[in-house]
Structure 1
Amino acid sequence: MKPVTFTLEEANRLLPRLQEELIKLQLLTQQFEMKFELLAQLKEKQREGMLPANGDGKDPFFELESQLEFMRMEVELAVGNFERQGVLLKMINPGLIDFPSILNGEEILICWKQGEEQATHYHGYDDGYMGRKRYPDAGLTN
């Protein structure tokens, strides 16, 4: 199957939906990190003897660990949704999304960073974000 490529116009048309999905993913990862930190703190308190032992013999962290595992699966699914749309999610926070494209016969990545109104830059596959250049006629495609 041939990889998906986007024009600048197509990338910018898809961007509002991707931004919504990104915000949901950022919230989910933030919640995961908070819950993970809580679990680490509780385990540390237990090691230090500051957390009373659970008298029923059950794992006192089972529920929290289960929630974290479910949230991890949700994050993986959300990240996979970007891939299934043919885009490359490079960073969750701040959001950085690349759209595979062709410019003058060369394979490039149209690059969008969270906070930008639309995608207006690109870089080569090996250049990365630091090699961004303004896309020709960017801003005139909308």
Structure 2
Amino acid sequence: MKIYFTLAEANALLPLVKLELEKLQGIKKQYRDKYEELHQLKDYHQKQGGLPEGSDPYFTLECEMDFLQLEGNTLLSSFELKGVQLKDIDSGLIDFPALLNGQEVLLCWRQGEESVAHYHGLHDGFAGRRKLTEE
């Protein structure tokens, strides 16, 4: 079953969407940082001629990364279950499927905007977005 949002419904959901988006952005940053740390550690041990016998200095970092990935996937599923389309994590681009004058469109919001105030066609993307007019 396809979920369509009214403008009021999309804007009512926005506080939760913003919160989840910020959490997801934080998780992505933490993951990137730990990934970089892991590769620096591996490079260091490679230059040192390998690991000391019986040690695994990567285990904790790898477990932390696995947990972050699980947490991130849970948040991504949360967007999906609501019927909200997360288009870009970094720029905070979110679409809400809607019907406008009988046509399927995507109500479009970008992080930093006060409310959902734009839309675009299903295949137009962000570049084709237009301001919603009061009707």
TM-score, normalization by structure 2:
0.94
2:69 corresponds to which residue?
Answer: 72
Identity over the aligned pairs, expressed in percent?
45
2:87 matched to 1:87? Answer: no
**Which residue of the other structure, out of 105, 126, 129, is the alignment partner of 2:126?**
129
Note the C-alpha offset of 1:59: 2.4
The separation in 2 between residues aligned to 1:53 and 1:132, in whole angstroms, is 54
The separation in 2 between residues aligned to 1:108 and 1:124, in whole angstroms, is 5
2:106 matched to 1:113? Answer: no
Note the C-alpha offset of 1:113: 0.2
- Superimposed CA distance per residue, residues 26-80 of structure 1 (whole angstroms, 9 cap, x where no aligned partner): 1111111111110011111111228x7333x132212211111111111111111
- Superimposed CA distance per residue, residues 1-40 of structure 1 (whole angstroms, 9 cap, x where no aligned partner): x211001111011101110111111111111111111001
1:53 corresponds to which residue?
Answer: 51
The separation in 2 between residues aligned to 1:44 and 1:137, in whole angstroms, is 58
Note the C-alpha offset of 1:84: 0.7
What SS does the aligned partner of 2:40 have?
helix
- Structure 1 alignment gaps of length 5 or more: none
Once superposed, which parts of structure 1, at least 4 consecutive aligned residues long, lie more than 4 Å away?
none
Tell me whether 125-134 or 64-73 shows the greater mean CA deviation.
64-73
2:30 corresponds to which residue?
Answer: 31
Give the letter aligned to residue 36 of structure 1: Y
2:7 corresponds to which residue?
Answer: 8
Give the letter aligned to residue 54 of structure 1: P
TM-score, normalization by structure 1:
0.89
